[in-house]
A and B are shown apart, each in its own frame.
Chain A
Amino acid sequence: MKRHHATALAVSVLALAAAAAASVRFLDHRRPEPLLPGPGVSEVRLLSQWLPDLAGSPGDTEVYVFRGTVPGSSMLVLGGTHPNEPSSFLSAVLLIENAKAVSGTLYVIPRANASGFTHNDPQEGAPEKYSIALPDGSKRTFRYGSRATNPVHQWPDPDVYVHAASGQTLSGNETRNLNRGYPGRADGTLTERVCLGIASLIRAEKIDITIDLHEASPEYPVINAIVAHERAMPLASQVVLGLEFLDVKIGLEPSPKKLRGLSHRELGDATDTLAVLMETANPSQGRLRGRTDEALVLTGRDPYYVKAQKLGRLYVPFDEKGHPIQERVARHLAGISEFAFALSSERPDRPLELSGVPEYPELIEKGLGAFLKPLP
């Protein structure tokens, strides 16, 4: 064997070993962590039951259904539209493991963009996972995903993303953003078909209100806010007042009519649902953040954001206490409870009554672990 063939063999073996080691970790991302449905879950369905074309695809995802004993209004909660916004996913998990519907029907999709949970955003330094301690000493570990669909499942990106329904153009990578693809289309990309699946569910089940849960960086103007379609504005106004009684300050923004593809705009226009989106403050997404790790995701503390606050650069209060995950989840769950209450007040003949949803003060006091079930 020639000398350079020997070195070629050696570096090839090393490269294959590195590729194998990386593959194990990348493939591990594709295994969803178990969720433990509570007694309120009546059935677990798949989104493909509303759009059969999704069956077997990486876009198919679980839909948890809570049916009350009394008929009433219906609500759809979308968690994990952006899998790098953990309070969105965790709020859905806490509903699945704790909530019950007394009247009406609640639908919860914890991983709206299931593909986005199977990878990380490159060059963001985000942790692969984060863990939450439970009172019994065990812990639950969850994936920190990407904002967008996995490129392995939808590739290549176009140079320019054209929103099919409006012709609006955006950066090419937005083609994998679930919250730019509504109302979706049958012959579109995987992301657009997931959007269509969600819209099909809303139409078929006559969902009265759809709440899309998100997080945003503290320097983003729309934060600690509800964004509401114009038909949902009266209801959202009541929710803002209701949250004020809990001392939860939240803004109310109208859904822009010219920014297309977003859930609060397209689902409100294309279906009969009242479409709203809620945002909390997550410094681990921001461009001003320092070290990006599991601690930042969970504690929401970052000295650079404290400095930015002092310089008047943020749209949300920010001090050394940060915005911990329990506060962000508590805001979402309080908003969901208030929307159910406001909807029931408006439609007393068709109430949507939820029980078991962790309340704002107890979540702040006890933390998320107190409301998560230990793994068997």
Chain B
Amino acid sequence: MTYLYLAIAACMLALTVWNLWTEKDWRKQASAAMVAIPLLLRVLMIK
């Protein structure tokens, strides 16, 4: 179950980063970057 949830978090992170790089509004890019931080920390099992 843990690995399934990690895979979900990794997919969310990938989609968030994709959104960050395709988005043209810098404010939405900044929002995506902030969303990516906790996702990254969980995918790396740091927090």
Using a CB–CB distance below 8 Å, which chain A residues touch chain B? Answer: 4-5, 7-8, 11-12, 14-15, 18-19, 22-23, 26-27, 119, 152, 155-156
Contacts and interface: CB of A to CB of B under 8 A. Distances in A.
B42 to A, nearest CB: 8
A143 to B, nearest CB: 15
Nearest to B21: A8
Nearest to B47: A26
Interface in B12-41: 17, 20-21, 23-24, 26, 29-30, 32-34, 36-37, 40-41
A8 to B, nearest CB: 5
A14 B33 contact: yes
A152 B46 contact: yes
The DSSP consensus for interface residues of chain B is helix
B2 to A, nearest CB: 5
28 contacts: A4-B23, A4-B26, A8-B20, A8-B21, A8-B29, A11-B20, A11-B26, A11-B29, A11-B32, A11-B33, A12-B17, A12-B33, A14-B33, A15-B33, A15-B34, A15-B36, A15-B40, A18-B37, A23-B41, A26-B46, A27-B46, A119-B47, A152-B45, A152-B46, A152-B47, A155-B5, A156-B1, A156-B2
- Interface range on chain B (Cβ under 8 Å from partner): 20 to 34
A19 B41 contact: yes
A311 B24 CA distance: 57
Contacts of B21: 5, 8
Interface of B: 1-2, 5, 17, 20-21, 23-24, 26, 29-30, 32-34, 36-37, 40-42, 44-47
Nearest to A29: B47
Contacts of B20: 8, 11-12
A274 B33 CA distance: 54
A155 B21 CA distance: 30
B41 A11 contact: no
Given A26-B46, A119-B47, 11 more contacts: A4-B29, A8-B29, A11-B30, A11-B32, A12-B20, A15-B33, A15-B34, A23-B47, A26-B41, A27-B46, A152-B42
B2 A155 contact: yes
Contacts of A11: 20, 26, 29-30, 32-33
A89 B35 CA distance: 36
A117 to B, nearest CB: 15
Contacts of B41: 19, 22-23, 26
Given A27-B46, A119-B47, A155-B5, A22 B37 contact: yes
